[in-house]
Amino acid sequence: MAEVLIVDDQDRYAELCRRAIPEHRYRGPARTWAEAEGELERARGRIDLVLLDVHFALPADRLLGAGPELSLAAAQRREGIAILGALRKRWPDLPVVLMTSRDELSLEALPEDEEYTYFLDDDMVDAQALRGQIESILSARRGDEAEGPIYWGRSPRMRRVRQRLAMLARGRLPVMILGPTGTGKSLLARHFVHARSGRAGRFVAVDLSTVPHELCAAHLFGSVKGAYTGSVADRVGAFEAASGGTLFLDEVGNLSSDAQKMLLGVLQEGTITRVGDLKERPVDAKLVVATNEDLRARVDAGTFRADLFMRLNPATAVELPPLVERDPSWPHLLAFAVERAVAGPYLRGLVDEHAAATGSAVRRVQAVAGGRVPDPEHGTLLLLFGDRALRALADHPWPGNLREFAMVVENAVSFALAEAVGVPPGERPDVVQVRAKLVRDLLLGGQTRDDSEEGWPFGVVIRPHDTLNKVAVDCERQYFFALWRHTRGDFGKMAQVLLGSEEHARKVQLRFNQLGLKVRDLRDAEAS
Amino acid sequence: MPVGVPSPALIAHLAALRHDLGKYVAMQVRSLPAGADPESLREALRDDVARTRRGPSGTTDAGAVFAELAPALRGEAPLADGSRVDLRGDPDFDALAAAMARLQQALPRLERLEAPALRALAADALDVSQRCRALHRRLQEDARG
């Protein structure tokens, strides 16, 4: 369901749309530019499309385009174009359909070609044709914003990122992706760069923050039997595994100095030598590296090789902006996150339970944002995020970006479904309300922590199919995090608590990373 | 009657006719499926012909919209630039005027009309719509040479 603003001094288009295309939510008709601007401001980015008439039979004092150089009739006849001009200054990439065909307008009244301005294919449009045209614009828009598991948003900046990555994907040089935690660097590497690289080989990802320094070289370049203690057989490294495909090195700043030197050799020579071996082996892997560190600062500080840094192609580095800077359409992003969340086995199980409890067959789960609930559709379960829930999501600063958003949405859906399963079905068993309070509590839960000496509260969702190990890891992760905050990030002190000696700080840090906790991310989150 | 090279004022006036009348006079009728039942036809005609333009400033039927714009196309009133033009004799204008006359004549009896008459009226509404567009397009092309 899209949100459509109608700007028209007459009621006819609004009535036609509401009657014949009821699957969308309509605002308006706004009668003047002032009303349209007010609606757009109040909607705060939730309008997906504007339907704008051209002729406005209004008095001169209500016309935006009235002036001494135009007669009242002429100003009325092109008021829609004047409104379009004003709208473009504030919402440059909002799709606008001028409710006229191109040939209905005089040449001088035609707006300059703009990417997001559309005309009716035929001004004598019928409802089905109008619906088809709206759908085609909206689906192109959705294609702009979401592709596979990637959410791009609508900002010009993300459009440039996408264009640049598409270009870099096909080249032979490394691709460097920068950006704060949770912005989707690894998703982009796998589903966008690799997918567009034209390479038939595998995509191999290595998170260097979880690989012990002493094993880093063997992990990346392979090893032969006996190369190090415990090396009982020859081992293929990540570079060889990715040959013909793409190797993604996440947190590249964590490379050990030995591995940095070896990586430089690979980039220069196109060959690797397994640890403990003398034989050079050719490799041809497209390299994508990612970090949220300032690598240039690391070079200046002498902890990252300058020659390797230059080989990683920093001149074309792509920086992913935080979620809130992507001008997301929250209803679309919500639909995107819900679609991904319910594809997982746990939520699918809850959906099935809900379907069994209500005696319905659910083939599709759809997020509905805003207050209006569409009519029931056989086989569709609607997850309703009301206006207040949507506002809570839109107002949150999202320091953890897309990852945080996805987690909050998954949790919200999970709790809402779990609550709904135990309740007798109401008038609309096909609708599950995701309450605003639930959303706000989840958002608050991510922001407040109890540091009292009494201990720390745990929050663990135990799912029927979770393994004991997963539950234990969830608990351990929270304990490590709480301890890290308590010791102000001092791994020595953490080691003292956990293992009785500060000497084990490195071990603790390694486990910390293995649990998926990243110091820089946590510091960023704390700072924000 | 031939108009020579159509003036910008005439083209603007025909654009107004196309927008104000042509676009709305068959908006619902156009959206009906083929073989729509009489009540759907009647409702669509009520919307399109009896309440052609409607908004906060009130409701105007198709006849009133045409009556406002037609005099300047019959030479009975000046165009915006003060010139006069008479389109009578133009096949599109004549067909449009004739269809409008039939619509206006039938409108008071709309609630009592049987299916064949409703279908004929719907065809007239569609014809008005098409003629408005055809007239504007053709003269606009003439004006552009």
Q: What is the C-alpha separation between A38 and A240, in angstroms, rounded?
A: 58
Amino acid A32: pLDDT: 93
Which residues of chain A make contact with B140, given a CB cutoff of 8 A?
103
Amino acid A140: pLDDT: 67
Amino acid A106: pLDDT: 61
Per residue in A323-346, pLDDT (tens digit) is 888 877 788 889 889 988 887 777
Interface contact flag, B136 A11, Cβ < 8 Å: no
Q: Which residue do the tokens 């409008």 mark?
A: B100
Both tokens assigned to A77: 């006849």
A125 near B CB under 8 A: yes
Across A166-175, A186-195, A362-371, B69-78, least confident range: A362-371
Q: What is the pLDDT averaged over residues A84-98?
A: 85
Q: What is the C-alpha separation between A377 and A250, in angstroms, rounded?
A: 43
The secondary structure of A3-29 as a DSSP string is EEEEE-SSSHHHHHHHHH-TTSEEEEE
Which residues of chain A make contact with B54, given a CB cutoff of 8 A?
10-12
The secondary structure of B69-125 as a DSSP string is HGGGGBTSS--TTS---B-TT-HHHHHHHHHHHHHHHHGGGGGG--HHHHHHHHHHH
Q: Do A438 and A416 contact (CB within 8 A), yes or no?
A: yes
Interface contact flag, A126 B8, Cβ < 8 Å: no
Q: What is the C-alpha separation between A369 and A1, in angstroms, rounded?
A: 8
Q: What is the pLDDT averaged over residues A472-489?
A: 85
A469 pLDDT band, cuts 50/70/90, is confident
Q: Chain B neighbours among A 84-123 (CB < 8 Å)?
A: 100, 103-106, 123
B24 near A CB under 8 A: yes
A33 pLDDT band, cuts 50/70/90, is very high
The dihedrals phi and psi of A338, each to the nearest 5 degrees, come to -65, -40
Per residue in A415-464, pLDDT (tens digit) is 888 888 766 767 788 888 898 988 988 887 655 444 445 677 667 677 77
* Nearest CB to B80; choose among A16, A55, A73: A73
* Nearest CB to A10; choose among B18, B31, B55: B55
CA distance A106 to chain B (A): 8
A406 near B CB under 8 A: no
Per residue in B74-119, pLDDT (tens digit) is 999 999 889 999 999 999 999 999 999 999 999 999 999 999 999 9
Q: Hey, what long-range contacts does A490-493 have (CB within 8 A, 24 or more apart)?
A: none
The answer, yes or no, to whether residue A306 has pLDDT greater than 90, is: yes
Q: What is the C-alpha separation between A93 and A83, in angstroms, rounded?
A: 15
CA contacts within 13 A on the Cβ side of A198: 7
* Nearest CB to B30; choose among A9, A105, A124: A124
Interface contact flag, B56 A31, Cβ < 8 Å: yes
Question: Which ipTM was obtained for this model?
Answer: 0.88
A-B CB pairs within 8 A amount to 67
Q: How far apart are the first and last CA of chain B?
A: 19
A45 pLDDT band, cuts 50/70/90, is confident
Q: What is the pLDDT averaged over residues A180-197?
A: 89
* Nearest CB to A123; choose among B12, B23, B56: B23
SS3 A30: strand
A178 pLDDT band, cuts 50/70/90, is very high
Q: Which residue do the tokens 């207050």 mark?
A: A371
The answer, yes or no, to whether residue A120 has pLDDT greater than 90, is: no
Amino acid B92: pLDDT: 92
Q: Which residue of B has its CA nearest to A126?
A: B31
Amino acid A319: pLDDT: 92
Q: What is the C-alpha separation between B144 and A56, in angstroms, rounded?
A: 26
The answer, yes or no, to whether residue B44 has pLDDT greater than 50, is: yes
Average pLDDT, chain A: 84
Of all residues in chain A, the percent with pLDDT exceeding 70 is 91
Amino acid A508: pLDDT: 86
CA dist list (Å): A452 to A457, A480, A481: 10, 16, 14
B57 near A CB under 8 A: yes
CA distance B88 to chain A (A): 22
Residue A197's nearest CA partner among A208, A188, A206 is A188
Which residues of chain B make contact with A15, given a CB cutoff of 8 A?
47
A163 pLDDT band, cuts 50/70/90, is confident
Across A225-229, A430-434, A496-500, the highest mean pLDDT is recorded for A430-434
SS3 A365: strand
Q: What is the pLDDT averaged over residues A514-528?
A: 76
* Dihedral (CA of A63, A68, A72, A76) sign: negative
Q: What is the pLDDT averaged over residues A19-36?
A: 90
Which residues of chain B make contact with A52, given a CB cutoff of 8 A?
none
Amino acid A422: pLDDT: 67
Amino acid A7: pLDDT: 95
B6 near A CB under 8 A: no
